[in-house]
């Protein structure tokens, strides 16, 4: 199919979606127009950058047609900024003067494409990473300055308090660190403060007991946290087996496997550890977030500092990079800890194998790279300030080009990964037989708060097995051993059914399984702990639904669009709520108290407005809900927590509700105010739709793989734009369709009666 046709397809998308185009849409290129009053804006921004004080130049900025004034703009990006660059990386702060945002995003972070002739590395790598861990969203943006097209940029989500609140979700006050030293990796400061040892980037080495030892290597983004970081590094140094006291091992393993598989050496893995963030969950464990991936796929050539003095290693060196790189490096104490404990080492390889299978062997990486390459081709061809020739862009997908920006070889993305896959497939670990996990269950299906729950899974070829469990999404999973002894709800001893018994709290929880033998391990689900099974509890009265970002969905008796909380009575008796409490602060269980005489009938709903306006008639709590997410509890007069929910960042007019009504786990939905949730649960929000059914590649000219997480499966319907049925299929798990003989054009994809999205079919090559 010609690029002209592709351009038409995406222009069509742009036209129909402009009014509500997401900032990080995988199907659209954002349009950002910057207007400065000064004609010498570039020289001013260069001066501000040289001064190093973070000063910004005021501008008016349009984002996808939405205009903002009093916006602050500055240059950013250490290795990709230079005053002589035709275009420099940008940081655009929408709320520099005013409280304003685009879809909740206040800071736009734009990368200029330097050091990456393919212009795919950052966006493609982050899209892959987000399938296994929390990582920034990324897409592309066409940028205009003072009316002139300035060029194409990678549009990457900024990692700040708002990111952590959305992605995990974490409290905005949680300790957070940017782990990106300002010095070059070959110029490590050799004169640390008194009592400190020399550090090597953000390496998590223990440098001494004083916080001054760490100032050059980490930037704290919160009001507290140095003590937690120092304690974590001291444990890595003196008791690496105790690393799980300070780090979320599950997330550290995914992050480490990702860096290695994608040969992302401008990171913790390579010379001078850097380009990541750390933050703490509610229980104090650090979690990682990758950053600055424009030199993934072996574009950053140095594995360690000593190698920097020599020539760039050849392609084969990176294709055969040891999956356990760093295990013998004292400047990588985290990797030493992860690879030094046999179970963590097997978990790491289980994650590594899952990534290889789901990203590479499935064809996802090659197909998605082809899609993105085609998607941005026209924009790059007309980019007046591109760093590379269009031929370099065309070639670097599959072959090596010499990077004109820094002089190093930029290996072809698919060229690198083809050789890397062949190497990894030949490793002994690939041949190891890992345990088989199946037929998992928990009983009772919907326990009461505080009730014991039996968790079981059927195992084969396993020597040891564990249940990973956490009470809410702001905590890390803890491991509990599973037994096949007939004493842990597991049936008869030796029947290959393994079990564990745990009491669960008011909020239920999430869980997964892990099993291993002497050679290999396996998780269920395979992407645990990024994916997991949900367990909900139900008492007589439950928090059934809430809305924390009510803009126009439903108003109170005074016509005000306030946050609201819906309670539901699961029992067959009327319940007196006099003296009960609602709170969004676990330290203040009686923050707001129901007045005397409030009853909720059996099967009935009760609304409490969370508007901090107790003087209004009706039930109005003394607090508001945070649209960024927080914890909400229902507490009885004895100050016992009856029900609780930790909810994430919520979009405007989207609720968080139990599915099924009254007893199920929570999910985002269209609101069903003061009524049952089941109908709304069957009508997913646009964000949830992409989780229910995914398909790739898109555009496609041959085979398309459809996959669903709906355990019950369903019916897949594909129609053309006039509505004529093209394909009807039953799907459970995954399904592959050959579209090579379909007419080129746009098709509508539906699953179980709901529209999921569009499929672009290209002419065969």
Instruction: Give the integer Cα–Cα distance in Å for 91 and 290.
Output: 18
Q: Would you place residue 305 in the very low, low, confident or very high pLDDT band (cuts 50, 70, 90)?
A: low
Q: Would you place residue 272 in the very low, low, confident or very high pLDDT band (cuts 50, 70, 90)?
A: confident
Mean pLDDT in the chain? 90
CATH code: domain 687-761 is 2.60.40.3080
Element (H, E) at 51: helix 41-51
**Which residues in the chain are classed under CATH 2.60.40.10?**
438-521
Print burial letters for 640-674: b (CB count within 10 Å at least 16), e (below 16): ebbbbbbbbbbeeebbbbbbebbbbbbbbbbbbee
Region 422-445: mean pLDDT is: 94
**Which residues in the chain are classed under CATH 2.60.40.3080?**
687-761
* 87, 151 contact by CB (below 8 A): yes
pLDDT tens digits along 454-485: 999 999 988 999 999 999 889 999 999 999 99
Instruction: Give the integer Cα–Cα distance in Å for 420 and 409.
Output: 17
3 state DSSP class of 61: strand
Q: What is the pLDDT of residue 545?
A: 97
Which of 14-23, 98-107, 692-701 ranks highest by mean pLDDT? 98-107
Question: Model-level pTM?
Answer: 0.85
438-521 has CATH 2.60.40.10 classification: yes
Helices and strands in the chain, H and E counts: 15, 40
Question: Rounded to the nearest 10 degrees, how much is the dihedral formed by the CA atoms of 103, 106, 109, 110?
Answer: 60
DSSP class of 361: I
Instruction: Give the integer Cα–Cα distance in Å for 522 and 433.
Output: 10
> How does strand 436-443 pair with strand 452-460?
antiparallel
Of 469, 600, 617, nearest in space to 557 by CA: 617
Of 410, 178, 170, 143, nearest in space to 292 by CA: 178
Q: What is the pLDDT of residue 683?
A: 65
Q: What is the pLDDT of residue 14?
A: 32
Region 317-336: mean pLDDT is: 97
pLDDT tens digits along 92-113: 999 999 999 998 899 999 999 9
* 361, 531 contact by CB (below 8 A): no
Region 736-752: mean pLDDT is: 84
Check whether 8 has a pLDDT greater than 80.
Answer: no
Check whether 519 has a pLDDT greater than 60.
Answer: yes
Q: Would you place residue 2 in the very low, low, confident or very high pLDDT band (cuts 50, 70, 90)?
A: very low
Query: What number of residues does the chain have?
Result: 765
pLDDT tens digits along 38-78: 999 999 999 999 999 999 999 999 999 999 999 999 999 88
**Going by C-beta distance under 8 Å and a sequence separation of 6 or more, which residues neighbour residue 724?**
none
Check whether 10 has a pLDDT greater than 80.
Answer: no
Q: What is the torsional sign of CA 11, 14, 16, 18?
A: negative
Q: What is the pLDDT of residue 186?
A: 67
Question: Rounded to the nearest 10 degrees, how much is the dihedral formed by the CA atoms of 205, 209, 210, 216?
Answer: 0
Of the ranges 299-303, 598-602, 716-720, which one carries the lowest mean pLDDT score? 716-720
Q: What is the pLDDT of residue 18?
A: 34
Region 617-637: mean pLDDT is: 93
**Which residues in the chain are classed under CATH 2.60.40.1260?**
541-683
> How does strand 641-647 pair with strand 630-635?
antiparallel
Rounded to whole angstroms, what are the CA distances from 343 to 251, 312, 493? 15, 35, 24
Token pair 């099974």: residue: 533
Check whether 681 has a pLDDT greater than 60.
Answer: yes
Instruction: Give the integer Cα–Cα distance in Å for 41 and 46.
Output: 9
Q: Which CATH architecture has domain 541-683?
A: Sandwich (2.60)
Q: Would you place residue 685 in the very low, low, confident or very high pLDDT band (cuts 50, 70, 90)?
A: low
């Amino acid at each position: 199919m010609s690029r002209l046709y592709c351009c038409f397809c995406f222009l069509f998308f742009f036209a129909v979606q402009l009014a509500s185009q997401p900032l990080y849409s995988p199907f659209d290129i954002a349009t950002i127009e910057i207007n400065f009053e000064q004609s010498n804006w570039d020289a001013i921004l260069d001066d501000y950058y040289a001064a190093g004080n973070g000063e910004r130049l005021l501008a008016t900025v349009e984002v996808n047609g939405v205009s903002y004034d009093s916006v602050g703009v500055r240059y950013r990006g250490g290795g990709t900024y230079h005053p002589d660059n035709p275009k420099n990386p940008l940081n655009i702060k929408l709320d520099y003067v005013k409280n304003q945002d685009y879809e909740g995003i206040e800071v736009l972070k734009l990368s200029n494409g330097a050091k990456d002739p393919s212009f795919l590395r950052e966006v493609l790598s982050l899209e892959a990473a987000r399938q296994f861990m929390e990582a920034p969203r990324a897409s592309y943006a066409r940028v205009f300055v003072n009316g002139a097209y300035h060029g194409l940029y990678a549009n990457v989500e900024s990692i700040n308090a708002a990111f952590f609140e959305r992605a995990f979700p974490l409290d905005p006050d949680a300790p957070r660190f940017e782990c990106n030293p300002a010095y070059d990796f070959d110029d490590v400061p050799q004169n640390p403060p008194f009592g400190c040892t020399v550090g090597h980037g953000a390496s998590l080495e223990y440098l001494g007991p004083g916080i001054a030892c760490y100032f050059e290597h980490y930037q704290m983004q919160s009001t507290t946290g140095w003590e937690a970081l120092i304690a974590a590094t001291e444990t890595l140094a003196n008791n690496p087996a105790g690393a799980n006291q300070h780090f979320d091992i599950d997330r550290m393993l995914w992050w480490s496997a990702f860096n290695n598989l994608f040969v992302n050496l401008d990171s913790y893995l390579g010379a001078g550890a850097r380009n990541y963030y750390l933050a703490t969950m509610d229980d104090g464990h650090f979690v990682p977030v990758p950053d600055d991936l424009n030199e993934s796929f072996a574009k950053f050539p140095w594995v360690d500092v000593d190698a920097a003095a020599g020539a760039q290693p050849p392609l084969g060196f990176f294709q055969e990079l040891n999956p356990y790189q760093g295990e013998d490096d004292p400047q990588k104490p985290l990797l030493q800890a992860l690879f030094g404990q046999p179970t963590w080492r097997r978990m790491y390889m289980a994650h590594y194998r899952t990534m290889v299978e789901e990203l590479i062997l499935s064809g996802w990486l090659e197909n998605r790279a082809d899609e993105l390459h085609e998607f941005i081709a026209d924009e790059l061809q007309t980019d007046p300030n591109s760093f590379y020739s269009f031929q370099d862009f065309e070639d670097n997908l599959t072959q090596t080009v010499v990077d004109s920006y820094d002089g190093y070889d930029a290996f072809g993305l698919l060229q690198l990964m083809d050789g890397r896959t062949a190497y990894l497939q030949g490793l002994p670990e690939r041949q190891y037989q890992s345990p088989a996990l199946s037929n998992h269950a928990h009983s009772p299906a919907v326990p009461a708060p505080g009730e014991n729950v039996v968790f079981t899974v059927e195992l084969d070829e396993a020597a040891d097995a564990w249940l990973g469990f956490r009470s809410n999404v702001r905590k890390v999973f803890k491991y509990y051993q599973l037994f096949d002894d007939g004493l842990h709800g597991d049936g008869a001893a030796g029947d290959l059914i393994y079990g564990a018994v745990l009491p669960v709290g008011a909020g239920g929880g999430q869980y997964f399984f892990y099993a291993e033998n002497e050679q290999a391990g396996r998780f269920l689900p395979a992407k645990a702990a990024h994916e997991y099974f949900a367990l909900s509890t139900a008492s007589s009265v439950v928090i059934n639904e809430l809305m924390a970002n009510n803009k126009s969905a439903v108003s109170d008796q005074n016509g005000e669009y306030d946050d609201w909380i819906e309670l539901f009575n699961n029992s067959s008796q009327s319940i007196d709520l006099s003296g009960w409490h609602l709170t969004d602060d676990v330290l203040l269980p009686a923050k707001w108290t129901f007045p005397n005489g409030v009853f909720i009938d059996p099967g009935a709903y009760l609304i409490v407005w969370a508007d901090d306006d107790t003087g209004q008639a009706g039930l109005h709590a003394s607090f508001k809900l945070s649209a960024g997410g927080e914890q909400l509890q229902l507490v009885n007069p004895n100050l016992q927590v009856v029900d609780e929910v930790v909810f994430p960042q919520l979009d405007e007019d989207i609720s968080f509700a139990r599915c099924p009504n009254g007893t199920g786990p929570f999910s985002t939905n269209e609101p069903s105010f003061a009524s049952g949730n089941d109908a709304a649960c069957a009508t997913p929000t646009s964000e949830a739709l992409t989780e229910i059914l995914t398909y790739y590649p898109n555009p496609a000219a041959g085979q398309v793989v459809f996959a669903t997480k709906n355990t019950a499966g369903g019916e897949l319907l594909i129609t053309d734009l006039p509505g004529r049925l093209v394909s009807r299929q039953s799907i459970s798990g995954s399904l592959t369709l050959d579209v090579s003989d379909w007419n080129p054009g746009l098709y509508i994809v539906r699953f179980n009666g709901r529209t999921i999205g569009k499929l672009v079919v290209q002419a065969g090559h």
